[in-house]
Structures are given as structure tokens and as C-alpha cells.
Amino acid sequence: MTIYVALIRGINVGGRHTLPMKELRVVLERLGCRDVRTYIQSGNAVFGSGEEDGARLAGRIADEIGARRGFEPRVVALELAEFERALEQNPFPDAETDAKGLHVAFLASVPERPDLAALDGLRSESERFR
């Protein structure tokens, strides 16, 4: 059984696309996930699954939420080891003293042609990215 961290984007924000965490747990358990734990109303969950393909699992989660709630959120399902590796490889170790200011984004796939210049144009002076 593989331990996954599921990040479900765009739910429970501003009263739109509501998905109670109790229902998210039901969705995940219905998909065969075990030991499901959720974090506040964030749409983040940790669980075990026999599924070996995180992208396929993410698609199944989005489809099931869509069938139940009428909207399909973006879902990224990372193996716990991938999540831990991101923590260990933090390119901004100085930010660990003020972890509230450190933000990490996980993408479903590697961008083919990332426009880093455009991204750089959006950041404030206090922000850095890699």
C-alpha cells in the first residue's frame, strides 16, 4: 500500500465548490483508500492506496467528486516520499525560520515551456521562486 498526499485545489473557497471533509473521506474510502485523514477544510488528505499511479488516482478522485458535487477540482496525488523529498530539497533554507512565508506549489506535470520571465514579472520584491 502506498501512502499518498492529495492536494485538492479550489474547494471550500468563498462559499464556492463546497466539499465537507467528511464527504471527502467518504469519496476516498469509496475509491478503496485506507486510513484517510484530512486537514481542516483545505481539501488536503493523507491516505493509503493500492493504486500505483498517482496521476490516475488524482483523476479518479476528481471524477468521483464531479459525480457527487457537480464540479471537478484539480487534484494532485503525491506519494508521501515525493512530498517529503520536496521538504528535504527546500531551495530556501533561510525561510525555515519563518515557515509561514514559505509557499510550495505542486504541479500535475512538468511545464513544457515555462515562461519564467512572465512569472518573475508578477512577483513582489520580497518574493523568490525556483
Name the residue type at position 108: A
pLDDT digits (tens, 9 = 90+) for 39-92: 887 889 999 999 999 999 999 999 999 999 999 999 999 999 998 998 889 888
**Residue 81 lies in domain:** 2-85
The per-residue pLDDT of the chain, averaged, comes to 90
Give the CATH number of the domain where residue 78 resides.
3.30.70.1280
* CA pair distance 83, 13, nearest whole angstrom: 24
| Residue 105 maps to a domain | no
- Quick one: pLDDT at residue 97? 76
Using the predicted structure, report yes or no on whether residue 100 has a pLDDT greater than 90: no
Give the number of domains in the chain.
1
* CA pair distance 81, 69, nearest whole angstrom: 30
